[in-house]
Amino acid sequence: MTIVVTGATGTVGRLVVRQLVDSGRKVRAVTRGGAPFPTPIEVVRADLDTPESLTSAFTGAEALLLLCRPATALDVARLAERCGVRRIVTLSSIRAEGERDAPYHLAVERAVESVDVAWTHLRPGMFAANLLGWAEAIRGTGVVREPYSAAAQTPIHEADIAAVAVAALSHDGHAGRKYPLSGPQTLDKPEQLAAIGAGIGRALRFEEISPDDWRARADSLPGFVQDLLLEIWTGSAATPEPVLPTVAEVTGRPARTLAEWAADHAADFGGDPR
């Protein structure tokens, strides 16, 4: 069985490729840039914004992990169907049906549902990898400054999103399912920082700052991303995000904690790689 992974150099896709290879699957990794992958991974240079470039990736493949690109999703899904792909798993979002998101991830989900393939939508919440945004402060002073310390989210390890993707790409029984995915703990920001500290063996400190001060420091982020983050933090300070059971239900293993994630990324935070 050949499985096509788009976004194969990305946070989640990279681990999907690795886990598929470890489970003995044949993998075609799609990249726009021809990034190197070790044998036996087949690399296909293609661009989701140019659907026809994916023809050779899809031909003879059974399953596809699809990164969301709404503008071309319908053409990509139709091409996959024509090429004989039987399963499409989307890397969507827990916010797919939220007003703020629409119609980004939802447009891709609907495009995939409109063709004759078995589909599964992965709907993760906050990636733990977003906390790499704290890495510079942690490597430096060990003090992280942000607004909305009470924002309580459920960061998920990218390896757990990948494990659910691998199950849905490789096995029957996931067709027509929408999987909301979270990490195993609801943690406010000081608790997230403490978990990272535990994972890398350092004491770290959180300092609350005003949203305006944060905007001034976060000027490398586009304004709409700043707006979205502030909205998510306000919302999750008022209503903490719930822990969802899906990772354990689908994979048969508990979701990895944030401390485990931090230990896996110790080098990013200035510690020794494990």
Ligand X SMILES: NC(=O)c1ccc[n+]([C@@H]2O[C@H](COP(=O)([O-])OP(=O)(O)OC[C@H]3O[C@@H](n4cnc5c(N)ncnc54)[C@H](OP(=O)(O)O)[C@@H]3O)[C@@H](O)[C@H]2O)c1
Residue 175 Cβ, how far from ligand X at the closest point, in Å? 21
| Stretch near ligand X under the rule CB under 6 A, chosen from 62-70, 134-142, 201-209, 224-232 | 62-70
Residue 174 CB, shortest distance to ligand X, in Å, is: 18
Residue type, 144: V
123 forms beta bridges with 180
Query: What does each C-alpha distance from 243 to 17, 135, 164 come to in angstroms?
Result: 27, 25, 16
177: helix, strand or coil: strand
Q: Figure out which of the listed residues 49, 213, 227, 231 binds ligand X, where binding follows CB under 6 A.
A: 49
Rounded CA-CA distance 72/68 in Å is 9
- 85 in contact with ligand X (CB under 6 A): no
The minimum distance between CB 141 and ligand X, in angstroms, equals: 25
130 belongs to the binding site for ligand X (CB under 6 A): yes
29 CB contacts (<8 Å, ≥6 apart)?
5, 8, 9, 13, 17, 37, 41, 42, 43, 44
Which residue has the closest beta carbon to ligand X?
A: 10
In the complex with ligand X, the residue whose CB is nearer, 69 or 265, is 69
Report the chain's C-alpha Rg in angstroms: 19
The least CB distance from residue 262 to ligand X, in Å, is: 16
Task: Return d(Cα 149, Cα 113) in angstroms, integer.
Answer: 39
234 lies in the site for ligand X, by CB under 6 A: no
> Footprint of ligand X on this chain (CB under 6 A)?
6-7, 9-13, 30-33, 35, 47-49, 67-69, 91, 93, 124, 126-127, 130
